[in-house]
Amino acid sequence: MPTVIKLGVPHPAAPQPNVDPVLSLGVPHPAAAPTQRHPVLSLGSPTLQRPNPTTVRSYHNTVLEESAVSLCGIQPGDPVLELGHGPGLGLEAAATLLTEPTGRLIGVDYSQYMHQMAGDRLKELVSSGKVSLYQCDVAAMPLAESMVDKVFHCNCYYYWPDLRKGAAEIHRVMKPGGVMGTTLRLSSVASFASRSEFPAENWQPKAYMEALRASGFNQVTMEDQQHKHITYQAIYDTAEK
Ligand SMILES: C[S@@+](CC[C@H](N)C(=O)[O-])C[C@H]1O[C@@H](n2cnc3c(N)ncnc32)[C@H](O)[C@@H]1O
């Protein structure tokens, strides 16, 4: 059994947790030694060692973030937004695609810890103005209307206490015709939900898709996709205005 039991990061107003918020995300602790081993390949290694659950979860997380980035079809000159960026893996992947001067990246996360961590990871891009990070709630972003072409997020909406507020805010900041996409591994999310990790039933894709439909996303789609041998669910749509 993994010793890590929490998937998410508590609301900033909540008391300090005893669990390390990075470990609780399933990403390696920054102080941990980097590993060169491919966690999936190691499943079949001659040593027959059991894979480290934290490493496997970290690998899944990276795959999901990369998939969320590619899901929304980022173009080199797009203004792009990531919601709940956590340590900044997805921001890092998206930034490499934004090669034109108009290509800008915005990240929001209400956790001070994650805001700081992503800021450290992307220090140079933040200094140059290519990347802007805001420590704020998805439901109240300090962003102008219709300013981004693409929005992506990963392992995030399950924590929003009010999905409709979050979905309405996404729609507000998106340009007409912009694309929003999120990725998740439903089996893993359901397993966390069974341990009461999330508020209410907000983790259910159906709940999030209904909130999107109520906010101006009229053709919300969910489908199975695959990347690096991992099957995941993708939810996406175009913002109509
Ligand atoms: C499970 S982590 C996922 C992080 C990252 N997307 C990844 O997959 O590695 C969820 C992140 O969403 C952030 N988050 C959750 N609810 C949020 C909200 N309402 N507003 C802003 N950030 C939120 C948390 O602080 C946390 O960093």
12 in any annotated domain: no
Average pLDDT over residues 101-116: 98
Q: Rounded to the nearest whole angstrom, what is the distance from the C-alpha of residue 156 to the centroid of ligand 1?
A: 5
- DSSP notation for 56-105: HHHHHHHHHHHHHHHHTT--TT-EEEEES-TTSHHHHHHHTT--STT-EE
84 in any annotated domain: yes
Number of domains within the chain? 1
Where residue 181 falls among pLDDT bands split at 50, 70, 90? Answer: very high
82 in any annotated domain: yes
Task: Give the per-residue pLDDT at 46.
Answer: 38
Domain span at 220: 37-238
Using the atom order of ligand 1, give the atom closest to the CA of residue 136.
21
78 in any annotated domain: yes
Q: Rounded to the nearest whole angstrom, what is the distance from the C-alpha of residue 237 to the centroid of ligand 1?
A: 20
Q: Rounded to the nearest whole angstrom, what is the distance from the C-alpha of residue 49 to the centroid of ligand 1?
A: 32
Between the CA of residue 168 and those of 105, 110, 141, 171, 191, what are the distances in Å? 20, 18, 11, 5, 28
Q: Which of 46-55, 153-162, 217-226 has the lowest mean pLDDT?
A: 46-55
8 in any annotated domain: no
Average pLDDT over residues 78-91: 97
Q: Is 111 in the pocket of ligand 1 (CB under 6 A)?
A: yes
Predicted model pTM: 0.83
Q: Which of 45-49, 134-138, 191-195 has the lowest mean pLDDT?
A: 45-49
43 in any annotated domain: yes
Q: Which residues of 114-130 are buried (b: 16+ CB within 10 A; e: fewer)?
A: bbebbbebbeebbeeee
Ligand 1, atom 23: closest residue by C-alpha:
84
Ligand 1, atom 4: closest residue by C-alpha:
86
- The CATH number for 137's domain is 3.40.50.150
Q: Do 138 and 84 touch, CB atoms closer than 8 A?
A: yes
